[in-house]
Chain A
């Protein structure tokens, strides 16, 4: 953490290179991604595609229109967002649609149509989140609401009548005949809670507390809300009998604590706890014991043929991967339908069979690139909350992939989790597209141009003028004087000066209505001030006035203090 905080000022002192919006790059990559998705959909059965192209046209249209819609929203609301996240997500989603369609063809299901509908819904949700979430820091204000929301979401399936039990796990709710998995949304809300809580209390957790040997234990009251969140997630999931999701939440918890504190001890402790918990669970719950058995002894005929908890699924998946070889059987040429749940949990083996190691490698690299873009956004953004949230969501996706792909390749016990963007399942798709939206919003604030260098008098005059204009307007509203009379007097006050044309034009648009737009521009200005002041901090000037802190800590905390002070400034400006 501290190294990234230190890294930010370096950019400030370098020449002011304007970041480019790079939306054109995104558009070009989107076209390639769409070509991959539609091409895969055609290749699964070219003859059928010629005879009856309805499904292909429909899925291609939904994917294309949805992607373009997100693209346009980005152009309007978040011009500096990362240009790679969206094409990668679209490519993965398109590949998933094609594979589900392909499995439908040999099993006579209609999962692909549902998936296309969900793709559209999820992309719309992505647009809505992007549109509403102009500044991701607002999520920090609802930290504890997010904790409550996570608890409610996780408990929803336990409500009799609403919850549905499928395959022994009670993870779904049934609304209007459709099933939905609220736990998928809960992973986002929990990540937001962890990020908000840890970004506020990181120093307390790190520095306050008793020291036992080389380890400093945090005080209980500092860590209690975290433990509560963890207990809710794990407790509910043990009750609902879903190991995969429990592992994912526990991993998220560990990853976020590690990201916030940088103490490897937490990871070691967590892995030990997980091992102990896994061992205990295998003794207490029969289904866990069966899973472990099917993992360790998969090729034993007794285990293979066992009716509940047999290893047939894993072994068939492995055979599929083996028959794929290096180049794969070709799309539509293999038999992935032999594996049960080949379009959701086991979709990775279906890809391995039809695209081979090279194709599956490509898919994994796409996921890797997606995660690196998320981490890049975390590195670039200047607030601790954004850093934690972006890094947490990226690591969440990586963890989920590890559990799924580790499971199907017999590296880990197989637990039912969806492959992000690919598996059939609406809730998973929805939550992953919301994650895309949040990452895009954070990357926008990370890459947004920040004016560096000392403030000129012109800048200060603009601040002053804008503040005065706001004051004036507020007075006008209070006294209810004639609006037309005040308008011409107010208009030149918000006239943008050349040096600040961008930021002021934002406020100029919003000047008519004192709404969120103005608040956003105010925070932008403040972030410029704090960035500028911390920008010269790394420049060799003496920084902390208290000398009793280590260098890295002082830099990190002074940066954060600057940010919080900036918020205070902002609020004060607002009250006037």
Chain B
């Protein structure tokens, strides 16, 4: 093999290494961003302007064009408050977001009930679309929705009472 070929191959191999790296880097360019930031960068100035007004509530509507789903009104129509009607915590009310809420006696519950008849991890409320679902987490004394013991996750409508241990609660819009 001639000197020239050897030299060419030598530099060619180094080039190949970097071509490989370039291929990896350029093909992952968009993937490196977390979440939807890639598109935000493309939209540029317009998006920045929007970001400035992001706190405004009316932003909700154009950002979330999903009236197409007819059965679910989304987060706005979902009950916002959990009110304790009876039991040790009677009279207290809790603001609900969209994160799941764990009810129980243990300290790690989202709403720790000071109720001796409640299990440590008693029940869980979770949001889905416009509805809250109540689910028993294998409690000892059971969770009752309108005097019926829950066997599975069930929709809880606003103003319908449910009982965890001795605590009676209801959701308010």
User: Which residues of B from 83 to 140 have beta carbons under 8 Å from A?
Assistant: 94-102, 108, 110-111, 121, 124, 126-130, 135-138
Nearest residue (CB) in A for B121 is: A568
A46 and B99 contact, Cβ closer than 8 Å, known pairs A25-B27, A327-B14, A356-B14: no
Chain B residues with Cβ below 8 Å from A359 are: 13-14, 17
Chain A 66-103 interface mask (CB, 8 Å, partner B; 1/0): 00000000000000000110011001000000000000
Majority SS of interface residues in chain A?
helix
B153 touches A569 (CB 8 A): yes
Chain A residues with Cβ below 8 Å from B18 are: 358, 362
Given the complex of chains A and B, what is the CA–CA distance between A431 and B96 in angstroms?
Answer: 47
B75 touches A536 (CB 8 A): yes
A545 and B101 contact, Cβ closer than 8 Å, known pairs A29-B23, A362-B18: yes
Chain A residues with Cβ below 8 Å from B11 are: 327
Residue of A8, A363, A456, A565 touching B126 (CB-CB under 8 A): A565
Chain B 41-81 interface mask (CB, 8 Å, partner A; 1/0): 00000000000000101001001101001011011000010
Task: Determine how close the nearest CB of chain A comes to the CB of B153; give it in whole angstroms.
Answer: 7
Interface size class of A (residues with CB under 8 A): 35 or more
B21 touches A533 (CB 8 A): no
Given the complex of chains A and B, what is the CA–CA distance between A554 and B25 in angstroms?
Answer: 36
Residue of B10, B32, B74, B97 touching A454 (CB-CB under 8 A): B74
A376 touches B72 (CB 8 A): no
Task: Determine how close the nearest CB of chain A comes to the CB of B49; give it in whole angstroms.
Answer: 17
Q: Is A562 an interface residue (CB 8 A)?
A: yes
Chain B residues with Cβ below 8 Å from A356 are: 14
The count of chain B contact residues (Cβ–Cβ below 8 Å) is: 64
A541 and B20 contact, Cβ closer than 8 Å, known pairs A454-B129, A534-B99, A561-B102: no
A454 touches B28 (CB 8 A): no
Given the complex of chains A and B, what is the CA–CA distance between A216 and B152 in angstroms?
Answer: 42
A540 touches B25 (CB 8 A): no
A4 touches B17 (CB 8 A): no
A558 touches B34 (CB 8 A): no
Residue of B7, B19, B36, B95 touching A11 (CB-CB under 8 A): B36
Residue of B25, B99, B135, B152 touching A543 (CB-CB under 8 A): B99
Given the complex of chains A and B, what is the CA–CA distance between A328 and B99 in angstroms?
Answer: 58
Given the complex of chains A and B, what is the CA–CA distance between A364 and B52 in angstroms?
Answer: 41
A39 touches B16 (CB 8 A): yes
Residue of B10, B16, B64, B111 touching A327 (CB-CB under 8 A): B10
Nearest residue (CB) in A for B27 is: A25
Chain A residues with Cβ below 8 Å from B160 are: none
A455 and B72 contact, Cβ closer than 8 Å, known pairs A91-B20, A545-B82: yes
A561 touches B100 (CB 8 A): yes
B95 touches A533 (CB 8 A): no
Chain A residues with Cβ below 8 Å from B147 are: none
B102 touches A455 (CB 8 A): no
Nearest residue (CB) in A for B32 is: A376
Q: Is A355 an interface residue (CB 8 A)?
A: yes
Nearest residue (CB) in A for B1 is: A46
Given the complex of chains A and B, what is the CA–CA distance between A525 and B23 in angstroms?
Answer: 35
A11 touches B35 (CB 8 A): yes
Top 10 nearest A-B pairs by Cβ distance?
Answer: A543-B97, A14-B36, A454-B129, A362-B17, A545-B94, A558-B99, A11-B35, A330-B10, A454-B72, A10-B35
Interface residues of B, Cβ cutoff 8 Å to A: 1, 6-7, 9-11, 13-14, 16-21, 23-25, 27-28, 31-32, 34-37, 39, 55, 57, 60, 63-64, 66, 69, 71-72, 74-75, 80, 82, 94-102, 108, 110-111, 121, 124, 126-130, 135-138, 152-153
